[in-house]
Structure 1
Amino acid sequence: MRTDGPLRVAVIIASTRSGRFGPTAAAWFTNQVRRRHDLALDAIDLADTDLPATMCDDEDLPAQVQALAPRLAAADAFVIVTPEYNRSFPASLKVAIDWFYDEWAGKPVTFVSYGRESGGLHAASQLREVFSELNAVTIRNSVSLPCYWEQFAADGSWPKARTASSNLDDVVRTTVDQLIWWAHALRAARAEQPCPT
C-alpha cells in the first residue's frame, strides 16, 4: 500500500431524488477543495451507480457493486454530501454503505450536510454511528448548510449577491485540514498493518 502522493478523496453525492441540491453542494465543495494540490478527488454520484436495494451473497455481487468497489477501496478519505430527510439520511446512501465493508475501514469520513434549519446535522449525527460500526473514523468537523436555498444563487454559485459574508470558507478549510491530517495518519497505519475488523 502506498503512503506517499496525493490523498485520494471520494466525494459521495447521497441524494438520488429529482431536483436534488446534492450535485450543487458537491460542486461548490469540490471547487473549494480543488485549490489543494495534495488531493485527488473522485466524485461519486449515487444516482449514477444504480446500486440494487436488495442484498445478496458475497459470491454473487452485482456488476454495479463490483464497479464501485475499487473506487471506494482506492479512497484514502470520504466526504459524504447528504440531505436530511425526516431527521435522517437518504435510503440510497444506506444501500451504498451496506453493500461494502472493508472499503470503509480505517479511513476518515466527514460530511457536507444540508437541509432546513438543522442544516442536515441530524443526518450527519446518525451517519457517525453507522460509520463507527464499519471501523471508519468520522472526524470532528463537518460542513452544514442550513436553509441552503437562501445561500446559493439559482445557478449554484456561492454566495447570493444579497447574502452577507459567511464563514463557510473557513469552515471548509478547517474541515479539509482535519480530514487530511487523519487521512495521512490512517493511510500510514493501514500500510503498516490492515485495519482489524
Structure 2
Amino acid sequence: MCGRYTLAASNKLDLSALTHEVPDRFNIAPQSDVVVETQLDGLTVKPWSLSPPWAAAPMHLFNARLETLDEKPSFKGSLRCVFMADGWYEWQRFAHSKHPWYHHREGELIRFGGVYHPLSGCAIVTTAAQPEIAHIHHRQPVLLTAQAAAGWLDGAPASDCMSHYPVAVHKVSSSVNDARLDSSDLTLPIKIETSDDVQGSLF
C-alpha cells in the first residue's frame, strides 16, 4: 500500500502549469488535497480520498489494487489520473516493530498511476513491489514515466504503461508516523539498529 508520500512542488518545472498554490509537502496523508493530472482538467488538485457514487457514507479509499481494479464495485466507472510526487514512505515490519523507509529519485518528479471519481476524490493504484524493494514492503505505487503517464490517461493497458526504474531507499525517523508533522527533516536518513535488525543480519 502507499499511505504517505511527498511532493516539493515549488522546484518542479513539470508542474509550472499548475494554477493552484500548492505548498511543499513532506508527509502527505490520505484525505489531503493532492496534485494530480487528468485528461479533463490537466494539472489540478483533488482530495486523496475516493468514494463511489453509490456509497451512503464516505469510504475514504486511498489505494486501489491494480490486479482487482476492474472487478471491485468501488472503482467501477472511475477515471484515470496521475499523482505527482517526489517520494513515498513504506513501513518494513519486523517481529516486534516496524520502521519507515523513504523511496525517492533524488528529488526528481515521480508519477503514480491513479483513479478518481469526478464527484469524489482519487486513489493511488498499487502493484507488486519491484524485487529491489520488496524486502521493505510487498506493494508499491504503479510507477509511470512522463510518456507512459499520457498512455495511462488515454486508457492504455496497464502493462504497457508501468515502468520499472530504480529508486533509492533509506530509513527515516518514525516521526513520519504522525500525520500532523510535515517537515523536510522527515525525509532525512537515519540509522536504526534494533534486536530485529541484529537478528536479521545473522541469516
State if a TM-score over 0.5 links the two structures.
no
Q: Larger % of helix: which?
A: 1
Q: Larger % of strand: which?
A: 2
